[in-house]
Amino acid sequence: MKISNRYGTINVLGRKKRFGGGKTIGLSMSGGADSTMLCILLAKTIQKKNLRTTIQPFNGLDLWAPLDSNGLPEIIKIIQEMYPTVNINWPISTVFNTNGDHDFDKNSYIRPFTRELLRKKFIDVIIPGISLGPPLEAQKTFDVRDDDIYKIQRIPGYRLYNEVEQVDPAIAPYKNVDKRFIIQCYKDFNLRPLLDMTQSCTDPKGNCGHCWWCQERSWAIKEVFGE
């Protein structure tokens, strides 16, 4: 199913036949706006197409900054109530502690965890919620710090852009859109209260306003809602 707004068009399930027939989709849900909306779009598609498809959220819970993960059960409960005919399971988590170390490799926990979920048939396929970064001119306005974690990201030559390059567009619906598309979905679906429940910050206190993720979120909300 295709979803369009003024910021682009995505194909939620890509090659649909890969996801029917009782398949279980693994969805990495951080408690952030992007993965929350992707869960909604998947559930909306599964319901409309009457697919026998299950959504299995999974999560990497950082004990040093747990606020996003802590809000995930309530978010999933709301989506379950929105789509009662769709099988949306409770999340499975791997737990680690970065202790605030920006060089900590979360993937050393998360990637083996996802491989095990696939190997043990908890999930059949993973749909990543990775999107483009804001346009370069927008990112240049961000109040970045000297620490590498705050440098411009998700443009060629900078941190995390390789994630975008590596994902298959057939299973990564956000690959060719940026966060404005996602925030516009919240507006179009009248889900602003749910957006406000999500958490993008990498700081343990939340909503720090200065990390790259906070600034990307603020930029997108201002673009869409004018705030």
**Residue in the block written with tokens 């649909």:** 16
Mean pLDDT of the chain: 89
Answer whether 83's CB lies under 8 Å from 47's CB.
Answer: yes
Q: What pLDDT, on the 0 to 100 scale, is given for residue 152? A: 76
Greater confidence, 201 or 226? 226
Distance set, CA 43 to CA 34, 52, 89, 222, 224 (Å): 14, 11, 12, 27, 23
Question: What is the CATH number that goes with domain 2-133+169-200?
Answer: 3.40.50.620
- Distance, CA of 87 to CA of 171 (rounded, Å): 20
Residue 112 or residue 150, greater confidence: 112
Summarize pLDDT for 161-207 with one digit per residue, the tens: 877 877 776 688 999 999 999 999 999 999 999 999 999 887 888 88
pTM to 2 decimals?
0.92
- pLDDT in the model for residue 17: 56
pLDDT at position 111:
85
Proportion of the chain above pLDDT 90, given as a percent: 59
Q: Averaged over 38-61, what is the pLDDT?
A: 94
Q: Which residue has the higher pLDDT, 104 or 68?
A: 68
Q: What's the pLDDT at 210? A: 84
pLDDT score of 22:
82
Could you count the other beta carbons within 10 Å of the beta carbon of residue 66? 16
* For residue 19, pLDDT beyond 70: no
Is a pLDDT exceeding 70 seen at residue 94?
A: yes
Alpha-carbon gap, residue 14 to 23, rounded angstroms:
14
For the cut 70, the answer to whether the pLDDT of residue 74 exceeds it is yes
pLDDT, residue 178, reads: 97
Phi, psi dihedrals of residue 89, rounded to the nearest 5°: -75, 165
Q: What share of the chain is helix, strand, coil (3-state, %, to 5)?
A: 40, 15, 45
With 0-12 / 13-18 / 19 or more C-beta atoms within 10 angstroms meaning exposed / middle / buried, residue 180 is: buried
Name the phi and psi angles at 102, rounded to 5. Answer: -70, -15
Spatial neighbors of 204 by CB under 8 A, at least 6 apart, are 64, 65, 66, 67, 100
Q: How many CB atoms lie within 10 A of CB 211?
A: 20
CA distance 65 to 20: 36
Residue 150 pLDDT greater than 60, yes or no = no
Comparing 191 with 20, the larger pLDDT belongs to 191
Q: Where are the domains of the chain?
A: 2-133+169-200
